[in-house]
Amino acid sequence: MKYARRFQNIRPQKRAFFALFIAAICFIGGLTPFSVSAVGGFGGRPAYPRPDNPRTESIFVHELDLGDVQEEGVKLFNNSEETKTLLVYAADSVHSTGGAFACKQRGEPKEGVGAWIALEKTEVTLSPGQNALVPFTITVPQNAGAGEQNGCILIEEKKPTAENAGGGVNLSFRTGMRVAITVPGEIVRALQIETFYATKQEDGGYVVHLAARNTGNVSIDADVRVRVYPMVGKPFADFWAEFPVLRGDMGEWNFDVEKPFWGGWYFAKAHIEYDASAEAGVGVETGSVPERLEGGREWFFVAPSWQALLVYAVILLGLAFGVRQGLRAWQIRSWIEKSWKPYEVQPGDTVTVLAERCGIPWKMLAKGNGLKPPYALEPGMTLKAPMRLTRSSAEADRRA
Amino acid sequence: MRHAFAQHSSKLALVTLGVIASFTAAWLALAADTSNFTQTISPGVLRVDIVNASSSYAAVGSPTMAMSPTTFSFNCVTSTGTFSSSTEAVYVENPDAADNGWSLSIAAAGGATAVWDSAGIDMDFNDPTTSGGCTTDGGDADSLAGRMQIDPTGILMATGTCGTCGTTALVRQAAGQFSQGVTDSITLIQAGSTSTDIGDWTFRNIVIRQSIPAQQAAGNDYDISMMLSMLAS
């Protein structure tokens, strides 16, 4: 009712416009279908993730014996707004700098896990928003060695290679998933820190570099932690992440340390923790006490910023001034104690007159004798003065 | 007169509103009887592209990168190029498709035996042999000299359109040179398990340096195809 009254109070022209506006909104809202526009890429995901291993949502993980055949599948998605023809293929893993996981190219010969994988399809055309399952099998050969072997399932768009008429680098893109197959046997899980150091950057910051080698025969998920401390106090920077270090590879990580405002001496500490139990695996943690590797301490000096230098300069100047004042006060105190002689105040003596006769500022005389405002002198008081005063001020005036 | 017109308009609008509301109610009632609202959200997948990062993040059709021009020389020279500019960037997307981290690497699309192709004499990109500070032939099976270095140390990382993702646990790798059979892939970025599971990022300033051997034949058509791979690890 309240709102109806308010509506009635609105001027008729405005009411008409308001009603038409609401009607239009209702009409448009009623007719427009609910839609979600999907803008994204294309690629694949494991078709059969296992609830017992969350890693299988992103990559393929299996423990397979010699001669085993594992049925698997990759689900391809086209989340782009165009129809795409996708190439899906298997490849061997390959060493990449920093020890990161990488895969060989489509045309390269396959000798490892890439050769163990047989895909039912290698080319799939998908409309926008469509997906398709591509089944494949993994067959472990009889001569496979114990430990973990890695390969890849890769997806790229089928399109002619762009020729760059003017020369240069043509870029193509692909995405993929790791295929980690562990063949039972003697499993060795061992990691060792190889290097840990800090290097200065052009911007004055530092990069802390840590490298660890996997000397075992399975990959290790290494919890890498690097902390940077000032000489005193809490950590200035803290990096933590888990990275896989592949069999026979060396994981290398560079952590950027921004230039600290105040500069000074800093040190970095690093440690790596990993599950050393032979029962651990890709995505499988045993819960045992992790093996801990210490990287030691790495000291480095960072020059302060110019603003901090300015602050330091002001503080130093202040300190220098304070020291100078303190030294002067100490000298005066020492002079008063050693050289000033007692004098009995005579009628007519004042602090200013006595100070003038001694040739010192009246404040020094007052301070040297512990006088407080209003600095009144009583005849008979004993003061200390820097010279032996034998006459009263009045007598001295008369003689003058 | 004006008042009468306004009253008439008001009535007309109310009648229109009533008619539309009736139609909408009838449509909704029918819809309720005949169908349920359904919606499918496809799982996201990893994505890597070169995009126009200045505005729409639209993918660049056929991305190429020009190298700095050099002149025929009796000495070895180095040509440089940078992927991505102020407006274009390498773009990666992880929509919960790689929960335990991912890597972004680059390699020659033709594999370890690829070369800088030219109508004249080709040039290698992964021969590690040097003599007197110059790249020379000898370290691999082909009879070409030349070596490419990828330097991701100056990468400028930024988040894309994601709301809450950050660059924590995204680690830039050191510069690396290709060497046939030894270093066939160079990692640009490695994302650890603590990196954001749902996020998108742009990377700029990835530098390529190609060592050109002395007396390499002049040509304006040297090209090579490189593959950027984003892999769930």
CA distance A155 to chain B (A): 10
| Candidates B13, B50, B232; nearest CB to A59 | B232
Nearest CA in chain B to A219: B233
Q: What is the pTM of this model?
A: 0.77
Residue of A159, A171, A252, A285 for testing the chain B interface, max B β-carbons within 10 Å: A171
Residue of B41, B80, B100, B200 for testing the chain A interface, max A β-carbons within 10 Å: B100
A-chain CB neighbours of B193 within 8 Å are 221, 241-243
> What was the ipTM of the complex prediction?
0.81
How many A/B residue pairs have CB atoms within 8 Å?
A: 282
Residue of B45, B151, B162, B230 for testing the chain A interface, max A β-carbons within 10 Å: B45
In which residue are the tokens 């932690």 written?
A: A225
At residue B35, does pLDDT exceed 80? no
Any B CB within 8 A of A38 CB: yes
Taking the C-alpha atoms of residue B4 and residue B10, their distance in angstroms, rounded to an integer, is 10
In which residue are the tokens 């061997």 written?
A: A92
Taking the C-alpha atoms of residue B121 and residue B224, their distance in angstroms, rounded to an integer, is 13
Taking the C-alpha atoms of residue A189 and residue A149, their distance in angstroms, rounded to an integer, is 14
A-chain CB neighbours of B226 within 8 Å are 169-172
Beta bridge partners of A359: none
How confident is the model over A222-270, as pLDDT tens digits? Answer: 999 999 999 998 998 999 999 999 999 999 999 989 888 989 999 999 9
At residue B53, does pLDDT exceed 50? yes
CB contact under 8 A, A59 and B100: yes
- The answer to whether residues B174 and A254 touch, using CB atoms and an 8 Å cutoff, is yes
CB contact under 8 A, A30 and B171: no
A-chain CB neighbours of B97 within 8 Å are 43, 45, 58
CA dihedral sign of residues A100, A105, A106, A111: negative
CB contact under 8 A, A79 and B231: no
* Phi and psi, residue A365, nearest 5°: -65, -45
CB contact under 8 A, A100 and B224: no
Give me the helices (H) in chain A, please. 2-9, 12-31, 113-116, 306-339, 351-358, 362-368, 393-399
Interacting residues of A316 by C-beta distance below 8 A, sequence separation 6+: none
Q: Return the half-sphere exposure (C-beta side, CA atoms, 13 A cut-off) of residue A282.
A: 32
Taking the C-alpha atoms of residue B129 and residue A192, their distance in angstroms, rounded to an integer, is 31
CA distance A265 to chain B (A): 24
| Candidates A11, A15, A42; nearest CB to B45 | A42
Any A CB within 8 A of B14 CB: yes
CB contact under 8 A, B185 and A44: no
Taking the C-alpha atoms of residue A342 and residue A386, their distance in angstroms, rounded to an integer, is 9
- The answer to whether residues A69 and B76 touch, using CB atoms and an 8 Å cutoff, is no
Question: What is the mean pLDDT of the segment spanning B3-22?
Answer: 59
Any A CB within 8 A of B224 CB: yes
Question: What is the mean pLDDT of the segment spanning B151-167?
Answer: 89
- The answer to whether residues A46 and B97 touch, using CB atoms and an 8 Å cutoff, is no
User: Which of 152-191 (A) contact B at CB < 8 A?
Assistant: 152, 154, 156, 161-178
* Cis omega (within 30 of 0) for bond into A46: no
At residue B138, does pLDDT exceed 80? yes
User: Which of 120-159 (B) contact A at CB < 8 A?
Assistant: 153
CB contact under 8 A, B186 and A40: no
Helix (H) or strand (E) holding A188: none
CB contact under 8 A, A241 and B101: yes
User: Which of 83-122 (B) contact A at CB < 8 A?
Assistant: 83, 93, 95, 97-101, 103, 105, 107-112, 118
Q: Burial code of A12-31, b = ≥16 C-beta within 10 A, e = fewer?
A: beebbbebbebbeebbeeee
CB contact under 8 A, B233 and A100: yes
Q: What is the pLDDT of residue A333?
A: 86
Indicate the pairing of strand A131-139 with strand A117-119: antiparallel
Number of H helices, E strands in chain A: 7, 18
Taking the C-alpha atoms of residue A317 and residue A78, their distance in angstroms, rounded to an integer, is 68
| Candidates B10, B42, B44; nearest CB to A19 | B10
| Candidates B67, B105, B228; nearest CB to A171 | B228
- The answer to whether residues A197 and A206 touch, using CB atoms and an 8 Å cutoff, is no
| Candidates A34, A77, A96; nearest CB to B185 | A96
Ranges of chain A with pLDDT below 70? 1-39, 161-166, 388-400
Any A CB within 8 A of B169 CB: yes
Any A CB within 8 A of B20 CB: yes
How confident is the model over A120-139, as pLDDT tens digits? Answer: 999 999 999 999 999 999 99
Taking the C-alpha atoms of residue B80 and residue B70, their distance in angstroms, rounded to an integer, is 10
Q: What is the pLDDT of residue A354?
A: 87
